[in-house]
């Protein structure tokens, strides 16, 4: 395995005297702070308002960046340059925007604006080429993202980014390492988008597919997930059909997602063919009965004409028997025909009693579904030697925020930190 780490300290200082001496700059600051108010009638106002408050450029559309440029007394084409620098050249610091006037760069920084890129804290590379990254956020919390390269028979590479939507996860599925690490907060729009850019930089290759299957429950952070989805589609230019949003099931959210009529794939983490077994594996299932989630999936297909994919983690001796496959097929036929099952052999994690199923059991399960006319695929296991299961690598380094210096370490010795 290859492990690398990198640290970055950002410091923004205020300069009230300089502001007072520069009326044009002061007007720009006031204007940028009122951006969300002026744009309230715009169709993109919620996204613009949230970004204006946080002063983060990443995640903004070209139109929004043009408005930022205008607010600072620049011509609108400067916004196009910002867009190119952020999404194409992937520049991380405002002072590195060499195509922009120095005065504009200074004004942006003094107003508290930043690109919104975070440093990579650690990477682990598996022998199959899969790379898992730990990204260190501004509040010193760590999130995971995974780059999965697959080369086809013609030599073309498909690069999938598996992104996180939360720091940790509150749902605590029994087989998931992320839940064991606790939950801190939702990720913001730019914190989701930057994961994809980090993968592209690391692999020096364009990301072709994005799956919201990393840390967290996307439906519990649906607003930021949808904003990030729009940015990934429009600005990073990843086709909607190349994006998958996964959920273990949160009441009322599948209907909300359906209303947006995305062309992306909805993947529901089912993991069991009946309510009793599902509750044992997924504790949150108690508040969202299986019949209710299946009805919402049926309605989702009718609303969007997009087939729902069901994720099924195979746990040896728990849910991987042929009778479970037969029961699953009956359940799916009861609720419709346009379904797909993605079987996922369990990735062993430390402290878990669950075991990875034998290959024969996986093949028998798939055959039982196929014989009952259920479309099925088995996910190729990647990165077993790189803490591949969601949350594993992060838990090795952190269950609490990283501390800033040695003095903090001495004052709080119980906090887990990375070396």
Convert the pLDDT of each residue in 306-323 to its tens digit.
Answer: 999 999 999 999 999 999
By C-alpha distance, which of 316, 311, 324, 346 is closest to 276? 324
pLDDT at 58: 98
**Secondary structure of 142-198 as H, E, C letters:** EEEEEEEEEECCCCCEEEEEECCCEEECCCCCCCCHHHHCCEEEECCHHHHHHHHHH
User: pLDDT value at position 386?
Assistant: 45
Mean pLDDT of 280-304: 94
| Contact predicate 246/267, CB 8 Å | yes
Report pLDDT for 39: 38
**Three-class DSSP category at 121:** strand
Question: In the predicted model, what is the mean pLDDT of residues 266-273?
Answer: 96
| Residue 396, both tokens | 């090795």
User: By three-state DSSP, how is residue 67 classified?
Assistant: helix
Over residues 391-419, mean pLDDT: 38
144 among known catalytic residues: yes
Mean pLDDT of all residues in 29-39: 38
pLDDT one-digit tens code per residue, 49-102: 344 445 999 999 999 999 999 999 999 999 999 999 999 999 999 999 999 999
Sheet holding 157-162, edge to edge: 2-4, 120-125, 131-136, 142-151, 157-162, 209-212, 243-247, 265-269, 308-314, 339-345, 375-378
Mean pLDDT, the chain, rounded, equals 82
If one compares 28 and 384, the residue with the highest pLDDT of the two is 384
Q: How much of the chain, in percent, has pLDDT values that exceed 90?
A: 68
pLDDT digits (tens, 9 = 90+) for 209-220: 999 999 999 999
DSSP state of 264: S
Q: Contact 418/397 with Cβ under 8 angstroms? A: yes
The better pLDDT of the pair 69, 382 is held by: 69
Work out the average pLDDT over 276-289: 93
φ/ψ of residue 143, rounded to 5: -130, 155
* Torsion from C-alpha of 412, 413, 417, 419, nearest 10 degrees: 130
Please report the pLDDT score of residue 319 as a whole number.
Answer: 97
What is the spatial distance between Cα 32 and Cα 72, in angstroms, rounded to a whole number? Answer: 8
> What is the model's pLDDT at position 383?
52
Please tell me whether residue 25 adopts helix, strand or coil conformation.
helix
Q: Distances from the Cα of 32 to the Cαs of 27, 54, 60, 77, 115, in angstroms? A: 9, 11, 14, 17, 15
Show the tokens assigned to 195: 């994961």
Q: Which of 64, 110, 144, 227 is catalytic?
A: 144
| Out of 39-43, 146-150, 186-190, 255-259, least confident range | 39-43
Q: How far is CA 77 from the centre of its chain?
A: 31
Residue 414, pLDDT above cutoff 60? no
Contacts of 154 (CB under 8 A, 6+ apart): none
- The continuous run of DSSP H or E covering 59 comes out as none
With 0-12 / 13-18 / 19 or more C-beta atoms within 10 angstroms meaning exposed / middle / buried, residue 381 is middle
Given the residues 169, 173, 231, 390, select the one marked as catalytic: 390
**Domain 120-397 CATH superfamily:** Aldolase class I (3.20.20.70)
For the entire predicted model, the pTM comes to 0.79
Q: What whole-number percentage of the chain has pLDDT above 70?
A: 77
Reply yes or no on whether the pLDDT at 247 is more than 70: yes
Is the CB of residue 391 less than 8 Å from the CB of residue 217? no
CB count within 10 Å of CB 203 equals 17
| In the chain, domain spans | 14-110, 120-397
Q: How many CB atoms lie within 10 A of CB 148?
A: 23
Asked whether the predicted pLDDT for residue 42 surpasses 60, the reply is no
Residue 380's pLDDT band, with cuts at 50, 70 and 90, is confident
pLDDT above 60: residue 159 = yes
Tokens of 334: 């009861």
């Amino acid at each position: 395995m290859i492990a690398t780490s990198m640290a970055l300290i950002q410091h923004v200082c205020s300069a009230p005297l300089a502001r007072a001496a520069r009326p044009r700059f002061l007007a720009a600051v006031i204007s940028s702070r009122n951006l969300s108010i002026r744009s309230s009638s715009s169709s993109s106002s919620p996204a613009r308002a949230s970004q204006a408050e946080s002063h983060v450029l990443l995640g903004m559309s070209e139109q929004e960046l043009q408005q930022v440029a205008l607010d600072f007394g620049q011509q609108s084409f400067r916004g196009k340059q910002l867009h190119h620098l952020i999404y194409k050249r992937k520049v991380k610091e405002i002072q590195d925007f060499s195509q922009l006037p120095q005065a504009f760069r200074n004004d942006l920084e003094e107003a508290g604006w930043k690109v919104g890129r975070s440093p990579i804290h650690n990477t682990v590379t598996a022998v199959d080429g899969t790379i898992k990254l730990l990204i260190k956020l501004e509040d010193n919390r760590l999130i995971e993202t995974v780059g999965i390269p697959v080369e086809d028979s013609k030599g073309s590479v498909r690069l999938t980014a598996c992104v996180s939507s939360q720091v940790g996860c509150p749902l605590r599925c029994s087989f998931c390492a992320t839940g064991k690490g606790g939950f801190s907060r939702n990720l913001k729009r730019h914190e989701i988008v930057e994961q994809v850019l980090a993968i592209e930089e690391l692999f020096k290759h364009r990301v072709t597919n994005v799956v919201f299957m990393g840390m967290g429950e996307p439906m519990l952070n649906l607003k930021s997930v949808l904003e990030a989805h729009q940015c990934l589609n429009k600005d990073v230019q990843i086709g909607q059909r190349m994006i998958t949003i996964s959920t273990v099931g949160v009441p009322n959210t599948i209907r909300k997602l359906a209303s947006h009529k995305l062309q992306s794939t909805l993947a529901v983490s089912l993991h069991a063919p009946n309510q009793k077994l599902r509750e044992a594996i997924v504790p949150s299932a108690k508040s969202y009965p299986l019949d209710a989630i299946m009805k919402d999936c049926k309605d989702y297909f009718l609303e969007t004409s997009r087939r729902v994919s069901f994720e099924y983690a195979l746990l040896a001796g728990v849910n991987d028997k042929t009778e479970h496959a037969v029961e699953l097929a009956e359940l799916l036929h009861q609720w419709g025909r346009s379904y797909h099952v993605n079987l996922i052999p369990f990735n062993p994690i430390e402290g878990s009693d669950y075991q990875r199923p034998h290959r024969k059991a996986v093949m028998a399960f798939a055959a039982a579904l196929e014989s009952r006319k259920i479309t099925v695929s088995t996910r190729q296991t990647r990165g077993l030697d790189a803490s591949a299961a969601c949350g594993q690598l992060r838990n090795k380094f952190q269950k609490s925020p990283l501390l800033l210096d040695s003095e903090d370490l001495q004052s709080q010795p119980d906090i887990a930190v990375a070396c």
